Amino acid sequence: MAAKKAKPGPAGKTLGSKKSWQGRLTADADAATAEFVSSLDVDRAMWKYDIIGSIMHAQMLSEVGILTKRELATIRRGLMSIADDIGADKLDMPVELEDIHMVIEKALIVRPGAAGAKLHTGRSRNDQVALDLRMWARDAAYDLVQGIVELQRALVGLAERQGEIVMPAYTHLQRAQPILAGHAVLAYVEMLQRDADRLADARRRINVCPLGSGAVAGTSLPLDRNRSAKLLGFDSVARNSIDATSDRDFLAELCFACATLAVHLSRWAEDWVIYSSTEFGFIELHDAYCTSSSMMPQKKNPDTLELIRGKAATAIAQLVGMLTLLKGLPLAYNRDLQDDKRFALAAVRPMMQSLAVAAGIAGTARFRAEHIAETLDAGYLDATALAEYLVGKGVPFRQAHHIVGSLVARAAAAGKPLAKLPLDELRAASDLIGPDVYKHLGAANVVKRYAPQGAAGPKQLRRQLNFWRKKLA
Ligand code: ARG
C-alpha cells in the first residue's frame, strides 16, 4: 500500500485535533505517520479493561478526596455510556487518537458533566496500558486453562470408553512394547495439566497492580494504590514504578505457556495424523473434523489436526517476537512496548481455537479396535516381557536380553511371532523356559502384567482414570 501523502498540519485548538492533547507539540502527524504510531487496530480489543480500570481509578480518586462524589458519578456514567457505544460499535475511533486509552478519554471529555478531564489525574498511559494488559492477560490465562480442561475431559472420556484396547507403543516410531490405548491418551492429559499449571503459576506474577506507577516515577498526589488494586481484583501492588511500567515479562511468560501448549498439541496432532492414516488405521476421526479433496473424491484428510500441528509455528514465533521486543530496552517505558500486544494476542487467540477444536476431535474420535488387533502380533512387542520372564527364572537381565535377541532373530527368519515358536525351540535358547512361558507371550498377556505405578496396564489405567475424574470434576 502506498504511504498516504498528507502533510503535517498546524495543531487545532479543539478536542477533535490530537495536538490539543499533546503538551508542547504544535503540529499534527501526517496521515501515514498517524497510522504508523497508532495501536488502535490491536488495543481496541482491550476496551473493556480500559473502561473498568478507569472507573476504579476514578473511584479511588474520589475516596482520597481528589474527585468529588458528583465528579465520580459523572465519570462513571460517561464511561458506562461509552462502553454501551463501543459494544454497539457506535463509537468513532479515529486513528489520530493513537490508542484505545485516548479514544475513551476523549469520548469522556466531550460528554456532558465536564469532569472527564480529571480522570487522568495521577495516571499515565504507561501505567494504564500495563494495567489493561495485566487484566487482559489474567483473563486470557483463565480462559486458556478452561480450554485445556475441556480438552482433558474429552481425552479422559475417550480413555474411559476405549482405554482397554491393547495397542503398540512406539519409540523411534518403531514398535516397542504393548500398552493400553488409554495410557497413550492419558500421556497427553498429563502434558496438558502441566500447561495449565504453568498458566496458573504465570497468573500469580500477572496479578500485580501497576496502577499508580504513573509514567515512570509514580506521583506526588496522595493515591491509595492498595485500594485501586483491591477494586480491580489484584493480589498485590507493584513495588517499583519503573519496573511496573516497563517490563513485560508477564506477557513473555504467557507466550511461553502458549508455545509449550502448542508444542504439546502439535505432538498429539501428529500422533493422530499418523494413527488415522490407512497404513496405521488406529483411529477413525469424525467426518466433521476432516476435509476431502477438490480432485480426489476418496479423500478424508485430517486437516484440523494438521492445522493444530501448524499453529505451533505461530505460537513459537510470538514467544520469540516478544522476547526480542524486550531485549536491550533501557528503563523505563519505550514505545517499542506498544507492539507487545500484537505478540500476546497472536499467541493466545489461536490456542483458544486449537483447544476448542481439539476437544471436538477427541470427543468424537474412536479407536479401531479390530484393526489394531489384526497387526498386534507384528513387531515382537512381547520381546522385553520374555526377557523379564527369564529374569523371573534367575537369569541376569543382560543375558536374558541376549537370549531373547537370538529368539527374535529365529522367529523373524521363520516369519512367526514369538508365541508361535514351539517349546523345544524356545528351550534351545534357554532350558529355564517352561510351558508357562506362553502365558507371558502375546501383547494382551504382557499388558496384564504391567503393575507398578506409571506402567501401561489395566490396574494403573484405572488408577489414572480415577485421579483425572476427580481432578477434572
Ligand atoms: N499506545 C501505547 C502502548 O500501547 C501507549 C502509549 C504510552 N505512552 C507514551 N508515552 N507514548 O504502549
pLDDT in tens, 154-179: 999 999 999 999 999 999 999 999 99
Model pTM score: 0.94
Residue type, 20: S
What does the pLDDT read at residue 112? Answer: 80
The residue written with cell numbers 500484537 in the block is 342
Would you say residue 12 has pLDDT above 50?
A: no
137 alpha carbon – ligand 1 mean position (Å): 18
pLDDT, tens only, 333-380: 999 999 999 999 999 999 999 999 999 999 999 999 999 999 999 999
**CA pair distance 138, 257, nearest whole angstrom:** 13
Which atom of ligand 1 is least distant from the CA of 341? 4
pLDDT in tens, 379-399: 999 999 999 999 999 999 999
- CA–CA distance, 37 with 243 (Å, rounded to integer): 24
Q: Tell me the CA–centroid distance for residue 297 and ligand 1, in Å.
A: 53
Which residue do the cell numbers 525351540 mark?
425
Q: Is the CB of 246 under 6 A from ligand 1?
A: no
3-state DSSP call for residue 178? strand
Q: What is the mean predicted confidence (pLDDT) over 35-45?
A: 97
Residue 287: exposed, middle, or buried by beta-carbon count in 10 A (0-12, 13-18, 19+)? exposed
3-state secondary structure of 326: helix
In the chain, domain spans: 30-121, 126-163+180-373, 383-471
Q: Summarize pLDDT for 291-337 with one digit per residue, the tens.
A: 998 998 899 999 999 999 999 999 999 999 999 999 999 999 999 99
How sure is the predictor about 26, in pLDDT bands with cuts at 50, 70 and 90?
confident
pLDDT digits (tens, 9 = 90+) for 202-238: 999 999 999 999 999 999 999 999 999 999 999 999 9
Does residue 62's CB lie within 6 angstroms of at least one atom of ligand 1?
no
The pLDDT score that the predictor gives to residue 24 is 86
Query: Could you tell me what percent of the chain has a pLDDT over 70?
Result: 95
Ligand 1, residues 24, 49, 338: which to mutate, most atoms within 8 A of Cβ?
A: 338
b/e sequence 222-246, b meaning 16+ C-beta within 10 Å: ebebebbbebbebeebbeebebbbb
Q: Name the residue among 126, 119, 127, 109 with its Cα closest to residue 57.
A: 119
Residue 437 banded pLDDT, cuts 50, 70, 90: very high
274 vs 28, more confident: 274
The beta-carbon contacts of 450-457 under 8 Å, at least 24 apart in sequence, are 450/179, 456/169, 456/177, 456/178, 456/179, 456/180, 456/183, 457/180
Q: What is the CATH number of domain 30-121?
A: 1.10.275.10
- Rounded Cα distance, 433 and 449, in Å: 18
Domains 30-121 and 126-163+180-373 share a fold: no
CATH 1.10.40.30 fits 383-471, yes or no: yes
For ligand 1, whether the C-beta of 337 sits within 6 Å is: yes
| Domain 126-163+180-373: homologous superfamily in CATH | Fumarase/aspartase (Central domain) (1.20.200.10)
Three-state secondary-structure class, residue 320:
helix
pLDDT confidence of residue 11:
46
Residue 40 CB less than 6 A away from ligand 1:
no
Distance in Å from the first CA to the final CA of the chain: 52
Q: Dump pLDDT digits (tens) for 443-465.
A: 999 999 999 999 999 999 999 99
Residue whose CA is closest, atom 12 of ligand 1? 338
- Label residue 25 by pLDDT band (50, 70, 90): confident
Q: In 3-state terms, what secondary structure has residue 208? A: strand
Residue among 46, 126, 326 to mutate when testing ligand 1 (max atoms within 8 A of CB): 126
Query: How many C-beta neighbours within 10 Å does residue 194 have?
Result: 14
Compute, in degrees rounded to 10, the torsion defined by CA atoms 61, 66, 68, 69.
20
Please give the share of the chain, as a percent, with pLDDT higher than 90.
91
Give tens-digit pLDDT for 176-202.
999 999 999 999 999 999 999 999 999
What mean pLDDT is predicted for residues 114-121? 92
Residue 337 CA: nearest ligand 1 atom is: 12
Dist. CA 85 → ligand 1 center (Å): 23
